[in-house]
Amino acid sequence: DDIEHFASILSTPETSLLTTLATSSTSSRMPKPVDASELDVFNKDWMNKYHGRSACVLKPKSTKEVSEIMRYCHQRKLAIVPQGGNTGLVGGGVPVRDEVIVNLGSLNNIRSFDEVSGTLVADAGCILEALDNHIAEKGYMMPLDLGAKGSCQIGGNVATNAGGLRFLRYGSLHGNVLGLEVVLPNGDILDGLSTLRKDNTGFDLKQLFIGSEGTIGLITAVSIVTPRRPAAVNVAVFAVDSFEAVQQVFSTVKRHCGEILSAFEFFDSQSLNMVKSHATASIKDPFQERHPFYVLIETSGSRKEHDDEKLTELLEELMESSQITDGVLAQDETQLQSLWALRESIPEACGKLGSVFKYDLSMPVPKMNELVEDMRGRFKERDMLGKGKPVKEVVGYGHIGDGNLHINIVAESYAPEIESVIEPYIYEWVSREKGSISAEHGLGRMKGQKIGYSKSQTSVALMEDLKKLLDPDNLLNPYKYLPSSYR
Ligand code: FAD
Ligand code: 2HG
Ligand code: ZN
């Protein structure tokens, strides 16, 4: 049967195959069936919002094993969910029904690193932070950084085209990824693991897979160009009185520090309260008083004295012009980490308080806070927001430097009555502003049917055609990403 066949493909089925199903095989290599609860971690997502009921998790150790699994599933018309670190925030990495889970965690070797060009070639299952630590020893860093870096995998990052905290400086994975090795739905291996910076020979096929969220192929390895690790890093957090001031500060910071700026993040006072009360790590508020908004800036450069001089001038102007009301500049690595923790702990802290409805939006920066206030207003009008009410808090934060707002609505549960106050209102709002309903997290299960709010009919039709060409039976990540996949 199918389980026996999977066991014959895997080099170590005892550890690489987890199933709740019993087989008639008497082979000692055949794993014993496990209790369904042992598959829970693979069947539910990071937010505990999306749940599947797969009876089978495969953890291949080589591209060849992935290819044989895919070929077999293609012949047998078995649906598959590719799964990386399972930190995704749109329900893309967990099954909807009983799809076979192909978890990439055991495909985790670093294949090569070129110390002159900074080109890294790694298996898809390598953890982002492990890669960053590996190349740190050689003076390089990964061009992307996320709060989930300790669990997410480079294959998952590429599959979602993750943005994150360094996007402002190093740009999108569409620019940094040089090549991909991908197993297609029919089991064929597309070997595009180039390390060339320039290559204008035909369609740039790798771009199709960046951000395709496991719907047209399974990424097994990534070639990526990495920047030098900066010798000097500074982090400051400023308190500001209004959202207009956040934008003014952004202009001033770019004028003084444009070429060394590596992050410009913001969060509102509700976000800081959330982190102080609910983050796992103990968080110290560096300010005496509460302020409506906070801005975190990071600079990265090769010469500390240069950067310090620029920052001093920046601080003088920000204080004198009253654009900021207070500010703190990290004096050492520990302080630097604790300032970053104020911002990075927000998603985790929200999750500790309740069930979180997450919205990840691109829009003109001046509009961002208006939407956050609007959402609070909608819940207040209905007497749904506050202590003892179904909605506990609405927080706004995000990557100002990239025009990307995150709204987290922390509720008692994922009740449809709460969701119906938010949707479709929020998507219509963003669509009117010509924004994007998914700036960096992707569509997944949550937003595949909403793609029309951000993309034209012609674009969606072409996407559907590409999906049909590569995966005509809709076996790869079904019920996600594109409207037709839900049927
Ligand atoms: P998974 O969650 O396992 O999968 C995500 C999607 O990719 C699924 O559709 C899955 O099917 C597919 N997939 C995974 N691996 C492969 C593969 N090898 N081949 C093909 N398809 C694959 N995202 C941001 O963009 N910016 C952030 O700042 C950010 N911060 C985060 C902070 C926290 C605390 C958390 C929990 C999440 C954050 N995320 C962020 C979201 C998430 O971490 C990213 O989307 C990440 O790239 C997902 O990687 P993963 O390995 O966990 O993938
Ligand atoms: C971040 O920027 C992540 O912290 C997560 O993209 C955002 O949880 C969220 O909504
Ligand atoms: Zn983000």
Using DSSP, state whether 285 is helix, strand or coil: coil
Cβ–ligand 2 contact at 147 (below 6 Å): yes
Question: How many residues make up the chain in this entry?
Answer: 487
Q: Whose CA is nearest to atom 14 of ligand 1?
A: 156
Give the atom of ligand 2 at the shortest distance from the alpha carbon of 398: 2
| Whole-number Å distance between alpha carbons of 386 and 248 | 31
Identify whether 472 is preceded by a cis peptide bond (ω within 30 of 0).
no
Q: Tell me the CA–centroid distance for residue 129 and ligand 1, in Å.
A: 13
Q: Of 230, 261, 235, whose CA–CA distance to 332 is shortest?
A: 235
Neighbours of 189 (CB within 10 A): 16
Neighbours of 303 (CB within 10 A): 12
Token pair, residue 97, equals 């029904």
Give the atom of ligand 1 at the shortest distance from the alpha carbon of 214: 21
| Whole-number Å distance between alpha carbons of 395 and 419 | 16
Cβ–ligand 1 contact at 297 (below 6 Å): no
| Whole-number Å distance between alpha carbons of 57 and 102 | 6
Res 75: pLDDT: 98
Ligand 2 probe mutation, 47, 274, 360, most atoms within 8 A of CB: 360
State the angle between helix axes of 425-432 and 368-381 in degrees (0 to 180), rounded to the nearest 10: 150
| Whole-number Å distance between alpha carbons of 347 and 147 | 8
The per-residue pLDDT string of the chain (487 residues; one tens digit each, 9 = 90 and over) reads 999 999 999 999 999 999 999 998 888 888 999 999 999 999 999 999 999 999 999 999 999 999 999 999 999 999 999 999 999 999 999 999 999 999 999 999 999 999 999 999 999 999 999 999 999 999 999 999 999 999 999 999 999 999 999 999 999 999 999 999 999 999 999 999 999 999 999 999 999 999 999 999 999 999 999 999 999 999 999 999 999 999 999 999 999 999 999 999 999 999 999 999 999 988 989 999 999 999 999 999 999 999 999 999 999 999 999 999 999 999 999 999 999 999 999 999 999 999 999 999 999 999 999 999 999 999 999 999 999 999 999 999 999 999 999 999 999 999 999 999 999 999 999 999 999 999 999 999 999 999 999 999 999 999 999 999 999 999 999 999 999 999 8
Q: What is the CA radius of gyration of the chain?
A: 23
Cβ–ligand 2 contact at 442 (below 6 Å): no
Q: Tell me the CA–centroid distance for residue 147 and ligand 3, in Å.
A: 8
Asked if 391 and 418 touch (Cβ cutoff 8 Å), the reply is yes
Neighbours of 115 (CB within 10 A): 10
Does 354-454 match 232-346 at the fold level? yes
Using DSSP, state whether 367 is helix, strand or coil: helix
Strands (E), 157-292: 177-183, 189-192, 218-225, 232-240, 261-268
Query: Residues 159-173: pLDDT tens digits?
Result: 999 999 999 999 999
Question: ipTM beyond 0.95?
Answer: yes
Residue 342: Cβ-neighbour burial (10 angstroms; 0-12, 13-18, 19+): buried
Cβ–ligand 2 contact at 143 (below 6 Å): no
Q: Which CATH number is 354-454's, of 3.30.70.2740, 2.60.40.1220, 3.40.190.10, 3.40.630.30?
A: 3.30.70.2740
Token pair, residue 157, equals 């990052």
Res 78: pLDDT: 98
Domain 2-106, what fold? 3.30.43
| Whole-number Å distance between alpha carbons of 318 and 253 | 9
Say which residues have a Cβ less than 8 Å from residue 305's Cβ, sequence separation at least 6.
Answer: none
Res 392: pLDDT: 98
Ligand 1 probe mutation, 41, 46, 58, 83, most atoms within 8 A of CB: 83
Res 467: pLDDT: 98
Q: How far is CA 314 from its chain centroid?
A: 32
Residue position matching structure tokens 């654009």: 323
DSSP state string for 105-131? GG---EEEEETTTTEEEEETTSBHHHH
| Whole-number Å distance between alpha carbons of 410 and 375 | 12
Q: Tell me the CA–centroid distance for residue 272 and ligand 3, in Å.
A: 16
State the angle between helix axes of 243-257 and 304-320 in degrees (0 to 180), rounded to the nearest 10: 140
Strands (E), 305-452: 326-329, 355-362, 391-399, 404-411
* End-to-end Cα distance, the chain: 28
Partner residues linked to 110 by β-bridges: 122
Cβ–ligand 2 contact at 478 (below 6 Å): no
Using DSSP, state whether 283 is helix, strand or coil: coil
Q: Whose CA is nearest to atom 5 of ligand 2?
A: 347
Q: Whose CA is nearest to atom 9 of ligand 2?
A: 347
Neighbours of 425 (CB within 10 A): 14
Residue 163: φ, ψ to 5° = -95, -90
Q: Of 343, 366, 407, 389, whose CA–CA distance to 145 is shortest?
A: 343
Q: How far is CA 219 from its chain centroid?
A: 16
Q: Which bound ligand lies closest to the C-alpha atom of 46?
A: 1
Cβ–ligand 2 contact at 89 (below 6 Å): yes
Res 28: pLDDT: 85
Cβ–ligand 2 contact at 347 (below 6 Å): yes
- In sign, the C-alpha dihedral spanning 148, 150, 152, 154 is positive
Q: Whose CA is nearest to atom 8 of ligand 2?
A: 347
Annotated domain spans of the chain: 2-106, 110-225, 232-346, 354-454, 455-487
How far apart, in Å, are the Cα atoms of 104 and each of 38, 85, 86, 353, 450? Answer: 18, 8, 10, 31, 28
Domain 110-225, what fold? 3.30.465
Give the atom of ligand 1 at the shortest distance from the alpha carbon of 399: 28
Using DSSP, state whether 332 is helix, strand or coil: coil
Cβ–ligand 2 contact at 163 (below 6 Å): no
Q: Which CATH number is 232-346's, of 3.90.1150.10, 3.10.300.10, 2.40.70.10, 3.30.70.2190?
A: 3.30.70.2190
Res 413: pLDDT: 98
Residue position matching structure tokens 């008639």: 24
Query: Residues 82-119: pLDDT tens digits?
Result: 999 999 999 999 999 999 999 999 999 999 999 999 99
Give the atom of ligand 2 at the shortest distance from the alpha carbon of 440: 6
Res 281: pLDDT: 86
Q: Which amino acid is at 419?
A: E
